[in-house]
Chain A
Amino acid sequence: MAKVNIKIEGHPYQVEEGLTILEAARECGYEIPTLCSFNHGECSLASCRVCLVEATGARGLVASCVYPVNEGMEITISSPKAVNARRASVELLLSNHSMNCQQCDKNGHCELLYVAQITGAREGKYLGSKTPTTVDELSPSIVRDTSKCILCGRCVARCVAAHGIGILGFEKRGFNTIVAPAANRSFAESPCLQCGQCVNVCPTGALMEKSEINLVDKAKMEGKFVVVQTAPAVRATLGEEFGMPIGTPVTGKMVAALKRLGFDRVYDTNFGADLTIMEEATELLNRVKNGGVLPMITSCSPGWINYAEYYYGDQLDHLSSCKSPHQMQGAIIKSYFAEKNGLDPKDIFVVSIMPCTAKKFEKSRDQFKHDGITDVDAVLTTRELAKLIKRSGINFTKLPDEEFDQDIMGEYSGAGVIFGATGGVMEAALRTAYFVLEGKEHEAIKFEQVRGMKGLKEASFKLGGIDIKVAVASGMRNAKVLLDQIREGKSPYTFIEIMCCPGGCINGGGQPYVKPQFLPNEDLNILDTYREKRANALYSEDERLTLRQSHNNSQIKDLYAKFLGEPNSEKAHHLLHTTYNKTRVRFPEK
């Protein structure tokens, strides 16, 4: 790449041609405040006007997030003109903003508040009327409060970039402009995946997960027997909420914290993941042997299930009938565990700590309720767990490492751990399939072909004389490619893993926010590397474990021997499998 010579604040630098002023300045050690710009132009409307600087060769101030550097350009960030302009842009935004910052759940992660501080926004400047507000709380997963929206467009761009469905858009114009699903409907009345990718990129509190901390509090107060389980991807990210570097696994501290929070049992959803592999691998082999519908597609990701139901209702037979791991585990807790402990399932309250907002929706699906008993009663995101920990006065970083409760469902394999990264379920299934079809363990254990952050991956194996071609997709934009092949009858695959969020659950919509301005000790390009770092935290835990295949989990074997019979048995079907809604309406009539 050619280099150009520029000056910033009078100092000469050489930077790559084609960079925006914002990117070039960042590389040279300057941080120009910005709101709407996000992740290398993923969103680049240049609409917030918070990154204005002076640059030679341009007429007036320029938006550094879109204006490219060129040879000989002299950039001034600190001139009174630029400083005042940036401050005024922020003040105008604040004048049309709900100012309940103290009570806002985004407090501490709010980029608007951050730029207000660094630009020196003055209190009460330019006050006036406000754009009429909509607060959408109908969805079990996401709350949208337009009074906090600054119309940066990041969420609109993310929904399209990740899934290609564009649930959110700009509506109306001028001062009345809002960002909303079509017709300002609720997320609950739109074909929204509830995945929370939009929440992850929202700079303010306009998009947030719907908190269920209150449900947990209530259950405890009512004296319920509260069992908590944590998804694999949570351990890879929870530390970030407490200032630890991205990619630090904190399994032990997380367990210690949960125990101090007074949960009656602390389990790992990895047990459920191992159980999923047993059921899913069996289902796959049955389909292969008996000429069932192929390719079979994983069903762990509720955002993906939503997508399948809304957009590929004609192809649902391809989905594995397996419930997702935490639903399986919830079902086992309320049956086998209850029985063993002499508890009435009605008195048990299952809390899942998930990297996901769609799980909040998933747990309330009709399919997961039997005789008034739900598999899972509350889903907290990684972020909510951090809040719970902070609220309880626990100094997370100083906690000792502790172990999950070991009774009945304490054991888990490395195969379960890697569920949290794209390709992880596939790899876990391959480990078990290899054993079943080849009659021995795969020596290398790893299946590198399905690892990595690429959105679409494929690999072929010959196992026990059978050719198996697999594909892995994350982000519905990528999944669509595979699904269209299936719809056209041209899919070459036997087994497909699909995860809703790009990169898998380590990048789920309930994971800690990755906002470079709040992460001064991370790499400059952290937005490019955080997914991989988080995934590596999971792969490293897998490496540390001695038990690395689901089928070798002795408590799973026990569970089958003592309770379920065998994988895909009638009882297993009743508790661990589900059905899908072929006629889900994308736009319910109002």
Chain B
Amino acid sequence: MVKTEKDLELTAKSCAKNLEDKFSGASGKIAVLICSGTGCLATGAKDILATFQEEIKNRKLEAKVEASKVGCFGFCSQGPFVKIMPKNIVYRGVKASDVSEILEKTVLGDEIIERLLYVDPVTKEKVSKLEDMAFYKKQIKVALYGCGIINPEDINEALGYGAYQGLKRALHMDPQEVINEVLTAGLRGRGGGGFPTGRKWQFAHDQVSDEKYVVCNGDEGDPGAFMDEGILEGNPLGVIEGMTIAGYAIGAKQGYFYVRAEYPTAVARLRNAIKQAEEMGFLGNNILGSNFSFNIGIRLGAGAFVCGEETALLNSIEGKRGMPRPRPPFPAVKGLWQKPSIINNVETLACVPFILREGASKFNALGTEKSKGTKVFALGGKVNNVGLVEVPMGITLRELIYDIGGGIPNGKKFKAIQTGGPSGGCLTEKDLDTPIDYDNLIAKGSMMGSGGAIVMDEDNCMVDVAKFYMDFICDESCGKCSPCRIGTKRMLEILNKITDGKGTLADLDELEELAQVVKANSVCGLGQTSANPIVSTMKQFKDEYMAHIVDKKCPAHVCKSLMKYVIVADKCKGCTLCARNCPVNAISGTVKQPHVIDQSKCIKCGLCQSNCRFDAIIKE
């Protein structure tokens, strides 16, 4: 139990010592850290940890070796990761079957297993330390504090790594001073809009009410983004501490997490962290001996993108359909159960302990003039290094895609990077040297959004991408207001028409008109931004739209109605594999002779192409 500041000081000191000893080997044990982010878990991290623990037990190595979880390393496409301390050796792509060898050679012996080392895609050199990997060189962990280092399920490791030092400082300040500190830091909402966090707090702080609430928006809806998931899995206590500080600042006694049910690991870690914080006295009454009391509950989403919209989220917590409320009144005035509330994104709250612990000036030293601090991006799509990266604001897209992301795989050509998810837009080659911050991205026709960054190459059809997002929005529209409910459907219908090869030039005008209507007339952000992917792709890739409409061709060979699979006679060896596996018997030909696809039968499933061992089947 940590009842006073003094308690915290002593506990933190001993925890820090333990952590240091763990990494330095002073504990007398070798520490094996296994990444336990969702990416690595999906590719076998759970088995790896279990195998390590079993082997350690079987070989009676308990006194010499300790295997434990750590939060996400971020470099998910190379996972699962295993890090061995104090030797500071990192293995990637580990399988459970490698465990025995790792134990013998690297943990007990001093041998490095070459095949498990990361190979730099550019220099082709093998790298054994994280800090030597280009992927990490430009990263700074603020929101992802402690990820890849501490066990997110152990509050003692977090306390040894600085947890609750921010709250301690905050409790020495007036609530207004805390808000000023956040304002000075220049922290802006990380959920998409970029509204100054301190101002949001100020509104709620200024309301007089018997009850106020802090709500953490963990309903990460952008399909293709997992920043909040990574933060909640790797740094749950940081978010809890941030929420507690927010509660102190606005005068709330109760906070709620609203988290996607799709993130079971994040939810479990969060529950565990809340429980440990309660047991230690960081939640509950008279925190750290002050007059401040604060409790936290968890509510789960149930699969509705619109609940990322803050008033829809409030309705969901209130047990209603997640339909946005008209504003005003704003949540800071009438929020959860009609009481003043602030809704902050996971990453926003995760930045707060840093600001209070390290001071506003350290935070606002990072970033650009109007966008301070760091931003976590979920870098994905057609890029070599897929994963979760945290970089200072102001880094360029080129640095993000090429330096950190390692460029485009398979020698393909970069076409666009999509940021801001279904509300955002596409940025192209000419934008690559633009520093990333809230205002620049908006000026370029996209937006920061929550941090999804999907790279696309020449094989992606931008009309199809626009259709993908519109299909998503149409599916996720709550149906409350007519412009979004009907307008998005109409836009999707037109896009379907175009990708089916039935589009006309008038359709483009209609799309533009609808985009404006839906933007101007919709109730909430979901509807207002729903046409952004269309507007952005129509602006940047007008030629692709024209190709679909005028030439009836899909240049990227994605739209099924506008492409076909053909067999290149020169390359076909007549192995018959494609013909044997074709589900509709559309391929004919004799053995050792070039085969032919009957286009009238072909359903364009692509199985033949994925089976062909001679690259003889192409799309055109």
Interface residues of A (CB under 8 A from B): 44-49, 52, 60-61, 63, 66-68, 81, 85, 88-89, 92-93, 95-96, 126, 128-129, 150-151, 170, 172-177
Q: Indicate which residue in A67, A88, A174 contacts B485 across the interface (CB closer than 8 Å).
A: A174
> Known contacts A46-B523, A170-B479, A174-B479; is A126 also within 8 Å of B514 by CB?
yes
Contact B326 A174 (CB under 8 A): no
What is the CB-to-nearest-CB distance from B48 to chain A, in angstroms, rounded to a whole number?
Answer: 41
**Chain B CB within 10 Å, residue with most, of A46, A96, A175:** A175
User: B residues within 8 A CB of A175?
Assistant: 474, 477, 479, 485-486, 488-489
Contact A49 B326 (CB under 8 A): no
| 6 closest residue pairs by CB, A with B | A177-B479, A46-B326, A174-B477, A88-B517, A66-B326, A92-B486
A535 to B514, CA, bound (A): 49
> Known contacts A46-B326, A67-B328; is A151 also within 8 Å of B479 by CB?
yes
Contact B477 A173 (CB under 8 A): yes
Contact A92 B477 (CB under 8 A): no
Interface positions of B from 284 to 326, Cβ below 8 Å from A = 304, 321, 323, 326
Contact B479 A49 (CB under 8 A): no
User: A residues within 8 A CB of B328?
Assistant: 67-68
Closest to A93 in B: B482
A68 to B333, CA, bound (A): 14
A126 to B511, CA, bound (A): 10
> Known contacts A44-B326, A61-B521, A170-B321; is A151 also within 8 Å of B483 by CB?
no
A175 to B490, CA, bound (A): 10
Contact A49 B478 (CB under 8 A): no
Interface positions of B from 498 to 520, Cβ below 8 Å from A = 510, 514, 517, 520
User: A residues within 8 A CB of B487?
Assistant: 92, 126
> Known contacts A151-B485, A175-B486; is A85 also within 8 Å of B479 by CB?
no
Interface residues of B (CB under 8 A from A): 304, 321, 323, 326, 328, 474-483, 485-490, 493, 510, 514, 517, 520-523, 528
Contact B482 A129 (CB under 8 A): no
A63 to B304, CA, bound (A): 25
What is the CB-to-nearest-CB distance from A194 to chain B, in angstroms, rounded to a whole number?
Answer: 26
User: B residues within 8 A CB of A96?
Assistant: 486, 489
User: A residues within 8 A CB of B476?
Assistant: 173-174
Closest to B483 in A: A49
Contact B517 A85 (CB under 8 A): yes
Number of A-B contacts (CB under 8 A): 100
User: A residues within 8 A CB of B514?
Assistant: 126
User: A residues within 8 A CB of B482?
Assistant: 47-49, 89, 92-93, 150-151
Q: Indicate which residue in A66, A67, A85, A174 contacts B521 across the interface (CB closer than 8 Å).
A: A85
Contact B520 A173 (CB under 8 A): no
User: B residues within 8 A CB of A46?
Assistant: 326, 481, 523
Contact B521 A89 (CB under 8 A): yes
What is the CB-to-nearest-CB distance from B502 to chain A, in angstroms, rounded to a whole number?
Answer: 13
A63 to B478, CA, bound (A): 18
What is the CB-to-nearest-CB distance from A557 to chain B, in angstroms, rounded to a whole number?
Answer: 58
User: B residues within 8 A CB of A81?
Assistant: 520
**Chain B CB within 10 Å, residue with most, of A89, A96, A150:** A89
What is the CB-to-nearest-CB distance from B480 to chain A, in angstroms, rounded to a whole number?
Answer: 5
User: B residues within 8 A CB of A47?
Assistant: 480-482, 523
Q: Indicate which residue in A45, A49, A52, A92 contacts B490 across the interface (CB closer than 8 Å).
A: A92
A177 to B485, CA, bound (A): 9
> Known contacts A85-B517, A95-B490; is A48 also within 8 Å of B474 by CB?
no
Contact B480 A45 (CB under 8 A): yes
Contact A173 B481 (CB under 8 A): no
> Known contacts A44-B326, A92-B517; is A173 also within 8 Å of B478 by CB?
yes
Contact A95 B483 (CB under 8 A): no
User: A residues within 8 A CB of B326?
Assistant: 44-46, 63, 66-67
> Known contacts A92-B483, A173-B478, A173-B479; is A60 also within 8 Å of B490 by CB?
no
A174 to B488, CA, bound (A): 9
> Known contacts A174-B477, A174-B479, A175-B477; is A49 also within 8 Å of B486 by CB?
no
Closest to B522 in A: A49
What is the CB-to-nearest-CB distance from A20 to chain B, in angstroms, rounded to a whole number?
Answer: 10
User: B residues within 8 A CB of A49?
Assistant: 481-483, 521-523
**Chain A CB within 10 Å, residue with most, of B482, B483, B490:** B482
User: A residues within 8 A CB of B523?
Assistant: 46-47, 49, 63
What is the CB-to-nearest-CB distance from A150 to chain B, in angstroms, rounded to a whole number?
Answer: 7
Contact B486 A93 (CB under 8 A): yes
What is the CB-to-nearest-CB distance from B305 to chain A, in angstroms, rounded to a whole number?
Answer: 10
A127 to B490, CA, bound (A): 8
Q: Indicate which residue in B321, B478, B489 contacts A128 across the interface (CB closer than 8 Å).
A: B489
What is the CB-to-nearest-CB distance from A472 to chain B, in angstroms, rounded to a whole number?
Answer: 32
A81 to B486, CA, bound (A): 20
A46 to B488, CA, bound (A): 18
> Known contacts A47-B523, A49-B523, A173-B304; is A95 also within 8 Å of B486 by CB?
yes
